[in-house]
Amino acid sequence: MRPLFLWLMTLAILTAAEPAGKPNILFIPIDDLNHWVGFLGRNVQTRTPNIDRLAKMGVAFTQAYCTAPSCNPSRASLMSGLRPSSTGCYENNQNWRPGIGEDKLLNSHLAKNGYVVFGAGKIYHGAGDRGGHFDEYFPGKGGPMKLHPEAKDAGVGGIKFAPLAGSDEEMADHAVVSWCIEKMSQKHDKPWFIAAGLVKPHMPWNVPKKWFDLFPLEQIQLPPHIAGDLGDVPAAGVKIAKPTGDHAAILESGRWKEAVQAYLAAIAYCDFEVGRLIDAWEKSPEKDNTIICLWSDHGWSLGEKEHWRKFALWEEPTRTVFIWKAPGVTAPGGLCARPVDYASIYPTLCALAGIPAPAHLEGADITSLLRDPKAEWKLPAVTTWMKGNHAVRSEDWRYIRYADGSEELYHNSSDPLEHVNLAGKPDLSAKKAELAKFLPQKDAANLPRGKGGEGEEAEGASKPAKKGKGKKKAA
């Protein structure tokens, strides 16, 4: 009996000592979510209990930025590890493939290194834009939905919003999350990578009315803004802001608060779907061996600096939501104020997964910040919008240089809303030069238009039904 007992004890010890193997990865891309989440404190009205819950579980970044303030170039850059200035993918209507190649993509690289790769919803620019390798891919499904009877119309000009009469279960994102939960619950022979691409809060801000009801219109507060905020902005920046477009239309309509209400409602719905993913992960047998990486592809402006949408280089359109939970690396409740951008995601996942990082990557591995959010960090975040226009964001400063050489400089630690452009002050020339060292050294030629940039809305997203189909107005 004793030899058998010793043999069993030895087997138990060896089994316990075996490494868990490569970690699984739950990847949560969110479309058009700006920094209006609870833990960032930018908007006190927002309701994001699930995103905030995830932030408390690991390390959340308070100064995270996209590499491009637009869906297609942001996602192409993040998933390839290459900056827009290197690939030439600057805008939504471009085909990213000639500048990148599908073999360089994160999901393809993980597949080559032993992962089974699942994707659902909007990961690249559209839900139908299936970039790189996926073992299985679910674009999502969501049929036409009626506007709620109390909806006035579909919005103001290009800013589309209205409550829906349908249920959460009819939304495209709900189907995406359900599919990913099913994959998470299945047994797999390899470590898995599951990307759950959520479309909301992308426009149209159409979600079931119950989410609008969380934000009574009479209690809505407008974003911080001052009249004439573009007065010290160079012509290149004013042209990008388009103050006579969406902003002028919203002001004329008198419906600014309604638009803010709708965006908050879409964020609250998105948070609900994130909560479903977190709940499923917590029940998963793989919970303790799963990395979670949640990111929003860029920010969004709702009238700050007389600008709407993304498509600009200021704080609102470029600041993002960025959260990591990595077993054995992150500690609960970590907040990191170091500036990082999304070129960091690909190399960091390689490091955490214990696989080689491909040579083409241009971003920095931020594992040191995941281990210690207060660790030393000398790199700023860099964002590009269209060819030749770049922003460099350090902990305290934002420096913008446009293709025509004009500049903006903001001292964000004392002017977080970027009201005062300091670029013309001679005593700050050294600061501009210090930040300018991080500007891209080349601006690749624009890639052609085509697949990979077809339209603003992801395919399969829940939209109101069109006229003539027995439904209310389309958004």
472: nearest Cα among 203, 173, 145: 145
Amino acid sitting at position 407: E
- Which residue type occupies 380? P
71 is catalytic: yes
Q: How far apart are CA 384 and CA 30, in angstroms?
A: 20
* Cα(248)–Cα(314) distance, integer angstroms: 19
Q: Output the CA torsion sign for 250, 254, 259, 264.
A: positive
DSSP 266-323: HHHHHHHHHHHHHHHHHHSTTGGGEEEEEEES---EESGGG-EES-SSSHHHHB--EE
* CA distance linking residue 47 with residue 250, whole number of Å: 24
Q: Which of 125, 148, 247, 307 is catalytic?
A: 125
CA dihedral 37, 25, 281, 57 (to 10 degrees): -50
Instruction: Check the CA dihedral 235-241-245-251 and report its sign.
Output: negative
Q: 66, 71, 270, 350: which one is catalytic?
A: 71
Q: 168 near 176, Cβ under 8 Å?
A: no
Task: Give dist(CA 121, CA 136) in Å, integer.
Answer: 12
The CB-side HSE value for 55 (13 A sphere, CA atoms) comes to 19
> What values do phi and psi take at 30, rounded to 5?
-125, 135
Residue 214 phi, psi (nearest 5): -70, -15
How buried is residue 210: exposed, middle or buried, by Cβ count under 10 Å (0-12/13-18/19+)? middle
Cis peptide before 285 (omega within 30 of 0): no
Nearest to 56 by CA among 325, 327, 368: 325
CA 89 to chain CA centroid, nearest Å:
17
5-17 burial: b if 16+ Cβ within 10 Å, else e: eeeeeeeeeeeee
3 state DSSP class of 397? strand
Q: Which residues contact 103 (CB under 8 A, 6 or more apart)?
A: 132
Q: Tell me if residue 125 is catalytic.
A: yes
- Which of 296-329 are b and which e, b meaning 16 or more Cβ less than 10 Å from the residue's Cβ? bbbbbbbbbbbbbbbbbbbbbbbbbbbbbbbbeb
**467 neighbors 474 (Cβ within 8 angstroms):** yes
Which residues are catalytically annotated? 71, 125
